[in-house]
């Protein structure tokens, strides 16, 4: 019968309209500025730099190896190496960044910097609502703005961060054991050749 299909369609619309009041499957949106959904664990927006301890600049894990700068597809990372070195978590002397800037107006949130970083120093943040009226200054983040503590990383990416923490703990233990063995070692042979 002509017109029957339209009536059938209208029944569907009515069912959806009524359903949106009681069925969560039919009303999946939230009232955004008042209500916010928590981000999922894997969500990523822009990168940040992880630091250990309390002092952000002293505890930065970044060793200014510039792998991320080279691999970044839109080239939004800018790094200048420092002349001074500092010991990392296993006591090895490492470089540190003098300048570490990320232009988040260029960053496309792909996460390739995180993938290629061998030191777990750069990770993806979950902040959003980053809009600002200042187009040039506030969208260029320096290392002070990018540095965030490891606790924050653990908070947002729990699974990944705890795996990394366990691995670093292990490395540290091994390094300390190696250092202790090295400290103990020269005494036993007591030959000038072994001290080298």
Partner 1 sequence: MSASTLPSELAEPASDHQLLEVSLGPQHPSTHGVFRMDVSLDGEMVVKLKPVFGYLHRNHEKIAEKCSYLGSIPYTDRLDYICSLTNNWAYAMTVEKLAGLVAPERAEYIRVILSELTRLINHSALAGFLLQDMGALGTPLMYAFREREKILDLFESLTGARMMCNYMRFGGCRCDLPPGWIEQTRSLVANFPSFLDEFEALLTGNEILQARTEGVGVLTPQLAVNAGVTGPMLRATGVNYDIRKVDAYGVYGRFSFRVPLGERGDVFDRYMIRILEMRESLKILEQALRDIPAGPIIDPKAKLRNLRPKPGEAYGRIEGPKGELGFYLISDGGPNPYRYRIRPPSLINLTILEDMCLGQTIADAVVILGSVDIVLGEVDR
Binding residues for partner 1, rule: CB under 8 A, are 2-6, 8-9, 11-13, 15-16, 25-26, 28, 40-44, 67, 71-73, 108-112, 115-116, 124, 159
Closest CB to partner 1 among 52 and 71?
Answer: 71
Of 120 and 143, the one with the shorter C-beta distance to partner 1 is 120
Helix (H, G, I), strand (E, B) or coil at 100: strand
Query: Which lies closer to partner 1 via its Cβ, residue 52 or residue 160?
Result: 160
- The H-assigned helical ranges of 23-157 are 67-71, 112-116, 143-146, 150-156
CB of 57 to partner 1, least distance (A): 28
What is the nearest approach in angstroms of partner 1 to the Cβ of residue 30? 11
- Overall size of the chain counted in residues: 196
Do 162 and 120 contact (CB within 8 A), yes or no? no
d(CA 110, CA 74): 10
Q: Is 176 left (phi over 0), alpha (psi -120 to 50) or beta?
A: alpha
CB of 73 or CB of 186, closer to partner 1 = 73
Q: How far is the CB of 48 from partner 1 (least distance, A)?
A: 14
Take residue 106 and report the two structure tokens written for it: 């260029």
Cβ 93 to partner 1 shortest distance, Å: 24
Q: Are 49 and 60 in contact (CB under 8 A)?
A: yes
Closest contact distance (angstroms) between CB of 186 and partner 1 is 39
Contact predicate 109/143, CB 8 Å:
no
CB closer to partner 1, 17 vs 93: 17
């Amino acid at each position: 019968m002509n017109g029957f299909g339209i009536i059938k369609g209208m029944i569907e619309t009515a069912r959806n309209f009524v359903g949106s009041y009681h069925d969560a499957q039919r009303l999946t949106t939230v009232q955004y500025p008042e209500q916010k959904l928590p981000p999922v664990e894997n969500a990523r927006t822009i990168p940040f730099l992880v630091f250990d301890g309390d002092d952000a600049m002293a505890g930065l894990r970044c060793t200014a190896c510039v792998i991320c700068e080279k691999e970044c597809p839109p080239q939004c990372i800018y790094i200048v190496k420092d002349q001074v070195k500092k010991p990392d978590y296993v006591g090895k002397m490492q470089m540190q960044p003098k300048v570490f800037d990320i232009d988040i107006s260029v960053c496309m949130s792909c996460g390739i910097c995180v993938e290629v970083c061998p030191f777990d120093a750069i990770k993806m943040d979950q902040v959003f609502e980053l809009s600002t009226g200042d187009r040039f200054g506030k969208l260029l983040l320096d290392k002070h703005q990018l540095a965030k503590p490891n606790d924050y990383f653990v908070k947002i990416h729990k699974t990944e961060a705890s795996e990394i923490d366990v691995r670093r703990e292990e490395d540290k233990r091994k390094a300390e054991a190696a250092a202790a063995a090295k400290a103990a070692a020269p005494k036993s042979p007591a030959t000038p050749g072994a001290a080298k």
